[in-house]
Chains A and B, each alone.
Chain A
Amino acid sequence: MSDRGISRRDFAKSAVAIGGASALAACLDRFGSPDVPSGTDPATLPARQHAWDGGLPTDDAGNHRLGRHHVLLLLDYERDGTPTSGDRQQVTDALQSLERAYAWGADGLQFTLGYSPAYFDRFEAEPVGVDLPEPSALAPFEDPEFDTPDAILHLASDHEQVVLAAEEALKGKQESVNDREMAASFSGVFSERDRRTGFVGAGLPAENQDVDGVPDSEPVPEDAPLFMGFKSGFKENQASEDRVTVESGPFAGGTTQHLSQIRLQLQQWYEQDSRDQRVSKMFCPAHADEENVEGVGENLGTDSGVGSCADDVVENSRTEGVAGHAEKAARARDDSDTPIILRRDFDSTDGGEARVHFLSLQRAIADFVATKSMTNGTDVADESAVGQRVNNGILQYMRVERRGNYLLPPRDLRALPPADPAQ
Chain B
Amino acid sequence: MDRRRFLASAGLAGASILAGCGAIENQSTRSPPLVEDRPDATYYPTHSEGMEMIGHKEAGDYMVGLTYSYPHRFWTVTGTNAEQVTIQDADSVHLMASVWDPETEMVLPIESGVSITIDADGETVADKQPWPMVSQNMGFHYGDNYQLDGEGVYEITVRVDGMTERRLDGLADRFGDAGEMTTNFEFSRDARDDISYDEYADQQGSRAALDLMNMEMIPTSQVPATEDLPGKLLGTAKGSDEVYAATWLTEADFLEPGQSYLAVSVRTPYNRVPLPMMSLDGTVEIDGETAFDDTLSPAVHPDIGYHYGAVVETTGDPSVSVETVSPPQVSRHEGYETAFIGTPTLEF
- In Å, the complex CA distance between A140 and B121 comes to 31
- Say whether A321 contacts B112, CB under 8 Å: no
Give the residue name and chain of the A residue nearest to B109 (CB): A387
Q: How large is the interface on A (under 10, 10 to 19, 20 to 34, 35 or more residues)?
A: 35 or more
Q: 1/0 per position for B270-288, CB-CB distance to A under 8 A?
A: 0000000111000000000
Chain A CB within 8 A of B144 CB: yes
B128 close to A (CB within 8 Å) = yes
Q: Are B83 and A274 in contact (CB under 8 A)?
A: yes
Contact of B279 among A7, A276, A319 (CB under 8 A): A319
A384-B279 contact in complex given A271-B88, A272-B76, A390-B132, C-beta closer than 8 Å:
yes
1/0 per residue, CB under 8 A from A, across B309-348: the answer is: 0000000000000000111110000000000000000000
Tell me if A123 is interfacial: C-beta within 8 Å of chain B: no
Binary per-residue interface labels of chain A (371-404) against chain B in the complex, 1 for a CB within 8 Å, 0 otherwise: 0000000100111111111110000100100000
Residue of chain A at shortest CB distance from B88 = A271
Contact B1 A6 (CB under 8 A): yes
Residue B120 at the chain A interface, CB threshold 8 Å: yes
Q: Binary interface profile of A, 122-163, with partner B (CB < 8 Å = 1, else 0)?
A: 000000000000000000110100000000000000000000
User: Which B residues are in CB contact (< 8 Å) with A212?
Assistant: 124
Does A322 sit at the interface, judged by CB under 8 A? yes
Other-chain contact of B326, A213, A218, A385 (Cβ < 8 Å): A385
Q: Is the CB of B326 within 8 A of A141?
A: no
Binds B, one of A32-40, A248-256, A261-269, A412-420: A261-269
In the complex, what distance in Å separates the CA atom of A143 from the CA atom of B79?
30
Known A218-B4, A322-B79, A387-B132; contact A5-B162, beta-carbon cutoff 8 A: no
- Which residues of A, 1-31, contact B by the 8 Å Cβ criterion? 1-8, 11-12
A321 touches B329 (CB 8 A): yes
Known pairs A6-B3, A382-B164, A385-B279; A265 contacts B78 (CB<8 A): no
A384 in contact with B326 given A322-B79, A390-B131, A396-B129 (CB within 8 Å): yes
> Which residues of B sit under 8 angstroms from A11, Cβ to Cβ?
2
Contact assessment for A263 and B150 in the assembled complex, using a CB-CB cutoff below 8 Å = no
Interface residues of B in 126-155 (CB under 8 A from A): 126-129, 131-132, 144, 147, 149-153
Residues of A within 8 A of B179 (CB): none
Residue A344 at the chain B interface, CB threshold 8 Å: no
Instruction: Indicate whether A302 reaches chain B with its CB closer than 8 angstroms.
Output: no
> Which residues from chain A contact B22 at a C-beta distance below 8 Å?
3
A351 to chain B, nearest CB (A): 10
For A276, list chain B residues within 8 Å (CB). Answer: 81, 83
Would you call B79 and A390 a contact (CB within 8 A)? Answer: no
Chain B residue nearest in CB terms to A277: B78
A381 with B7: CB separation less than 8 A: no
Q: How far is the CA of A384 from the CA of B296 in the complex (A)?
A: 9
A280 to B329, CA, bound (A): 14
Known: A218-B4, A389-B113. A4 touches B120 (CB 8 A): yes
Residues of A contacting B162 with CB < 8 Å?
Answer: 140
Cα–Cα distance between A249 and B124 once the two chains are bound (Å): 48
Partner of B329, one of A4, A268, A387: A387
Closest to A2 in B: B150
Q: Are A320 and B78 in contact (CB under 8 A)?
A: yes
What 0/1 readout, one digit per residue, does chain A (26-64) give for beta carbons within 8 Å of chain B?
000000000000000000000000000000000000000
* CB-CB nearest in chain B for A265: B128
Assembly CA distance A40 to B20 (angstroms): 64
Check B149–A318 contact: CB distance below 8 A. Answer: no
CB B100 to nearest CB in A, in angstroms, measures 19
Are A389 and B112 in contact, CB atoms less than 8 angstroms apart?
Answer: yes
Minimal Cβ-Cβ distance residue in B for A216: B4
Q: Is the CB of A277 within 8 A of B111?
A: no
**A4 with B7: CB separation less than 8 A:** no
The reply to whether the CB of A210 lies closer than 8 angstroms to some CB of chain B is yes
Any B CB within 8 A of the CB of A334: no
B325: nearest residue on chain A (CB-CB)? A318
Instruction: Indicate whether B35 reaches chain A with its CB closer than 8 angstroms.
Output: no
Nearest CB of B to A290, in Å: 14
A3-B150, A385-B329, A389-B129 known; A210 and B2 CB under 8 Å?
A: yes
In this complex, the member of A3, A8, A143, A386 whose beta carbon has the largest number of chain B beta carbons within 10 angstroms is A3
Q: How long is the Cα–Cα vector from A4 to B23 in the complex, in angstroms?
A: 9
Given the complex, which residues of A lie within 8 Å of B278, measured CB to CB?
385
B6 contacts across to A, CB distance below 8 A: 5
Q: Which of A340-391 contact B (CB under 8 A)?
A: 378, 381-391
What's the nearest-Cβ distance from chain B to residue A145, in Å? Answer: 16
Instruction: Say yes or no for A409: interface residue by CB 8 A criterion.
Output: no
Is B173 among interface residues, defined by CB-CB distance under 8 A?
no
Most buried by A among B80, B120, B149, B279: B279
Query: In whole Å, how far is B188's beta carbon from the nearest beta carbon of chain A?
Result: 11
B157 at interface, CB cutoff 8 A:
no
A388 to B113, CA, bound (A): 7
- Does A321 contact B79, Cβ atoms closer than 8 Å? yes
Residue among B4, B126, B149 with the highest chain A CB neighbour number at 10 A: B4
A222 in contact (CB, < 8 A): no
Does the CB pair B152–A1 fall under 8 Å?
yes
Given A216-B3, A216-B4, does the pair A390, B129 have CB atoms closer than 8 Å?
Answer: yes
Contact of B295 with A by CB under 8 A: yes
B90 at the interface (CB under 8 A from A): yes
Contact B295 A267 (CB under 8 A): no
Complexed CA–CA distance, A391 and B164 (Å): 16
Q: Say yes or no: A7-B123 contact (C-beta < 8 A), given A216-B3, A322-B78, A385-B326.
A: yes
Which of A4, A6, A285 is packed against the most chain B CB atoms within 10 Å?
A4
**Which of chain B's residues 23-77 have a Cβ closer than 8 Å to chain A?**
76-77
In the bound complex, what is the Cα–Cα distance between A107 and B50 (angstroms)? 60
Contact B150 A4 (CB under 8 A): yes
B15 touches A (CB below 8 Å): no
Is A194 located at the chain interface by the 8 A CB criterion?
A: no
Q: How far is the CA of A389 from the CA of B111 in the complex (A)?
A: 8
Query: Residues on B close to A: CB < 8 A?
Result: 1-4, 6-7, 20-22, 76-81, 83, 85, 88, 90, 111-113, 115, 120-121, 123-124, 126-129, 131-132, 144, 147, 149-153, 161-162, 164, 178, 277-279, 295, 297, 325-329
Binding site for B on A (CB under 8 A): 1-8, 11-12, 140-141, 143, 210, 212-213, 215-218, 263, 265, 267-268, 271-274, 276-277, 280, 285, 318-322, 378, 381-391, 396, 399
3 nearest CB pairs, A to B: A1-B152, A318-B279, A321-B79
A selection of 21 A-B contacts at a CB cut-off of 8 Å is: A1-B120, A1-B121, A1-B152, A5-B6, A210-B2, A216-B90, A265-B128, A267-B147, A268-B129, A268-B131, A271-B85, A272-B76, A318-B279, A318-B295, A318-B325, A321-B77, A321-B327, A385-B328, A386-B329, A388-B113, A390-B129
